Amino acid sequence: MELDKFKHFSVFGNPIEHTLSPKIHSLFSKQTNIPCSYTAVKVPLNEFSNRINSFFNTIGDGANVTLPFKEEAYCFSDILTNRAKLTKSVNTLKKVKDEKILGDNTDGIGFLYDLNRLGFLKKNNKILLIGAGGAARGLLPSILSKNNEVFIYNRTYERAKKLAEEFRYLGKIQEVGYKDLSAIKAGLIIHATSYFFSKEKLILPSSLIHQNVSCYDLSYVKNSQTTPFLNWCKKLGAMNLANGIGMLISQAAYSFLLWNNILPDIEKIFAEL
């Protein structure tokens, strides 16, 4: 009987110190009895393709890619899944036949899984998406597929405008400026900026928060349920709050599925973490 090959996976990003991915993947590995290694690699900003090339040319079977390399990973891929083509960004790479590299994006499906779990996913909802970087791009096709009306706000207005134009063919989406925010009564606010890392303040009008709004922060702080954005929402009376851990676990589970053909039991991992 042929034994399954021990597989090697890594997550590549910068910064990477905060990542929980190695822990999550070791829980998946235990749960499914698929032995594999999973390490975190901090990549200097201009070194992405060198590092990922040498990983796949030596031990690598699959990789996750995080901030700020998802668009580079898209260009690096030889073959793309439909999800990756739609988002033009890649968070999961897999070595496939003939040493080719397949690029996928599991952020959107992971995010929808988590919204469903939390009961935040309503039909015909108004959604305010704050941020227009790689994470926002990764989510847009999924949230637009649910018939939602999306308003996108970003510090750099032009970037929000560009993203709205790019995804308008998939549903209702419009860019908004700071002055427009006070007129928006969204049922769901998704915070997808990295201001956290920049140590600057994110300034938003308090009128965005009302009792029935759900607030989802893609960021998370290790060993904490909350984040500065969620603290701000809570102080203003929001009651439905969630950080990005759920999305992190769910997108990781769909990467694991791509690599190993098994979807781990996501609920069990929530309990264990």
The answer to whether residues 176 and 153 touch, using CB atoms and an 8 Å cutoff, is yes
Nearest distance in Å: CB 93, ligand NAP = 16
Among the residue ranges 49-57, 73-81, 144-152, 187-195, the one whose residues contact ligand NAP (CB under 6 A): 187-195
- Residue 162 annotated to the active site: no
Q: Could you say whether residue 134 binds ligand NAP (CB under 6 A)?
A: yes
- Which CB atom, from 176 or from 218, has the smaller least distance to ligand NAP? 218
Among the residue ranges 163-171, 172-180, 182-190, 246-254, the one whose residues contact ligand NAP (CB under 6 A): 246-254
* Nearest by Cα to 250 from 222, 225, 223, 269: 269
Among 11, 73, 101, 132, binds ligand NAP (CB under 6 A): 132
End-to-end CA distance of the chain: give it in Å, rounded: 35
DSSP 192-260: ---HHHHTPPP---GGG--TT-EEEES---TT-S--HHHHHHHHTT--EEE-THHHHHHHHHHHHHHHH
Phi and psi at residue 12, in whole multiples of 5°? -115, 130
**Binding to ligand NAP, residues 199-218 (CB under 6 A):** 200, 202, 218
Q: Residue count of the chain, please give it.
A: 273
Nearest distance in Å: CB 88, ligand NAP = 12
The answer to whether residues 101 and 95 touch, using CB atoms and an 8 Å cutoff, is yes
Q: Could you say whether residue 133 binds ligand NAP (CB under 6 A)?
A: yes
Which residues are annotated as catalytic? 70
**Residues in contact with ligand NAP by the rule CB under 6 A:** 67-68, 107, 131-136, 154-156, 159, 192-196, 198, 200, 202, 218-219, 244, 247-248, 251
